[in-house]
Amino acid sequence: MGFVKTYALPRLIQWAVVIFVGTTVTFIIPRLLPTDPVEQTLRRVSTSLTDPRAAETLRNALQDLYGLQGTPLEQYGRFWARLVRADLGPSLGAFPTPVTLIIRDGLPWTVGLLGASTLLSWLLGIILGTLAAYYPGSRWSNLVSGMLVTIYPVPYFILSLVLVMAFAYYIPLFPLVGGASGSPANLGPFLLSIFQHSFLPALSLVLLGTAFRFIIARALASTVISSDAVNYAEIAGLPRRRIIFGYVLRNSLLPQVTDLALSLGALFEGALITEFVFSYPGIGYRLYTAILQSDFNMIMGVTIFSIVGIATAALLIDLLYPLFDPRVRYR
């Protein structure tokens, strides 16, 4: 009971407040923009509407679809009523398909690609960074450090375009667009096509993610290596593997666990550029299309998913901190 009152409950309240405030801001911002999605839609179809009554009927229907009927307070109440029912309205760019259905279809692609890439780059970054800090003068350490430090400042879209031009256009080893080909009925070829389509976007994410985490891990490990605990372990003659993984890596892991949790929670944010460059059929590509089409329902749906993901990741890492850091206690 003490854990719930003093540790879990305040964090659950904070989680709920973050989601409430973020969702409210998501509701407000589109209504402050100078563009009117209803008028934009009417202009696109104005040539096919000759009857003023038909145009007015369409205007009322679009206002209802966008949730723009009534006063701002009434709109806000209906917005939360729909949200509680998991009803984000239809996508105006793929009308009448519901936004939740589009997000459901794109979610496995985004989670599979960015989730696996984030985990792999995190593991590679902290292991290579820790080893490079412990063996600073070795040849392999200098080689890996030089490569990753050179890659890190390269803008992501530049690296992505280079990979696309090199290995999908000039040397067509991998597909240029899409997420898979073939039918799931032929499981083997279908899984192979998924791997081929996801290899280049995953490689771009892993390279830059590993470079970033390598620099952070090396800096954190260098600080730990100079501590009294590590010096004493070396004087005591403990095996180097135990010193590296039991002392250096473990004591520098906490900030990196936080980084991993927030990175996994923010998958939807990182999906936009990646999926646009590689035309990958995930949430990010659908968000890009929605922005071009002024599809406010789709934009708000993806934004709300991102808010919930980041807030939930922060909540989970708060609850799990005592498992990684003995200085943190539930009570």
Assigned domain for 183 exists: yes
Q: What is the pLDDT of residue 30?
A: 73
User: Taking 80 as the threshold, does the pLDDT of residue 59 lie above it?
Assistant: no
Question: So what's the pLDDT on residue 109?
Answer: 84
307 within a domain of the structure (yes/no): no
Q: What is the CATH number of the domain that holds 211?
A: 1.10.3720.10
pLDDT tens column, 20-52: 998 888 888 777 767 666 666 666 666 655 666
Q: Report yes or no on 247 lying in a domain.
A: yes
CB 184 within 8 A of CB 190: yes
pLDDT, position 51: 64
Query: Phi/psi zone of residue 51: left (φ > 0), alpha (ψ -120 to 50 degrees), beta?
Result: beta
- Res. 53: pLDDT tops 80: no
Estimate to the nearest angstrom the gap between the alpha carbon of 3 and the chain centroid.
31
Inter-residue long-range contacts of 85-90, CB under 8 Å, 24+ positions, other chains counted = 88/297, 88/300, 88/301, 88/304, 89/65, 89/297, 90/65, 90/297
CA atoms of 315 and 310, how far apart (whole Å): 9
Q: Which of 24-38, 81-95, 102-116 has the highest mean pLDDT?
A: 102-116
- Note whether residue 11 is domain-resident: no
Is the pLDDT at 178 greater than 80, yes or no?
no
CA-based nearest residue to 99, from 283, 263, 281, 260: 283
How many domains are there within the chain?
Answer: 1
pLDDT tens, residue by residue, 247-280: 888 878 777 887 787 777 666 665 677 877 888 8
C-alpha angle with apex 264: 259 to 268, nearest 5 degrees? 125
Q: How far is CA 10 from the centre of its chain?
A: 26
The rounded distance, in Å, linking the Cα atoms of 331 and 324 is: 16
Q: Tell me the average pLDDT of the chain.
A: 79
The phi, psi pair for 297, rounded to 5°, reads -60, -45
DSSP per residue, 229-243: HHHHHHHTT--HHHI
Residue 54 has pLDDT above 70, yes or no: no
Nearest C-alpha neighbor of 127 from the set 238, 222, 210, 231: 210
The reported pLDDT for the residue numbered 266 is 65
Higher pLDDT, 299 or 48: 299
Domain that holds residue 127: 102-294
Output DSSP code: residue 261.
H
pLDDT at 192 over 70: yes
Report yes or no: 248 and 265 within 8 Å, Cβ to Cβ: no
The residue-averaged pLDDT of 190-195 equals 83
Model confidence band, residue 3 (pLDDT cutoffs 50, 70, 90): low
Residue 197 has pLDDT above 60, yes or no: yes
26 within some domain:
no
- pLDDT above 80 for 5: no
139 within domain boundaries: yes
Specify if 45 maps to a domain: no
Closest CA to 258 of 204, 300, 216: 216
- Can you list the pairs that 282-285 forms with residues at least 24 positions away whose Cβ atoms lie under 8 Å? 282/106, 282/107, 282/109, 282/110, 282/113, 282/114, 282/179, 283/103, 283/106, 283/107, 283/109, 283/110, 284/110, 285/106
